[in-house]
Structure 1
Amino acid sequence: MKLIKIKRKTRLEKRFTPKMGKLHTNVTYIQKRLFNIIPIETVHKYRETYYGEIKACEDCVLSK
Structure 2
Amino acid sequence: MYFIQVKRKTKIENRYSPKMGRLISKVTYIKKYMFRLPIETLHKYRNTYYGEVKDCANCILEA
Please indicate the TM-score interval, normalised by the length of the shorter structure: over 0.9
CA–CA distance in 2 between the matches of 1:19 and 1:50? 15
Q: Deviations over 1:14-60 (max 9, x none)?
A: 0000111001110000000012x200000000000011100000010
1:33 alignment partner, SS class: strand
Aligned to 2:23: 23
Supply the AA of the counterpart residue of 1:24: I
* Aligned: 1:11 with 2:11: yes
1:2 alignment partner, SS class: coil
1:58 alignment partner, SS class: helix
Superposition RMSD on alpha carbons, in Å?
A: 0.6
Identity of aligned residues (%): 57
Q: Give 4+ residue runs of structure 1 displaced > 4 Å after superposition.
A: none
Q: CA deviation at 1:2?
A: 1.5
1:52 alignment partner, SS class: coil
* Aligned: 1:42 with 2:23: no
Aligned residues: 63
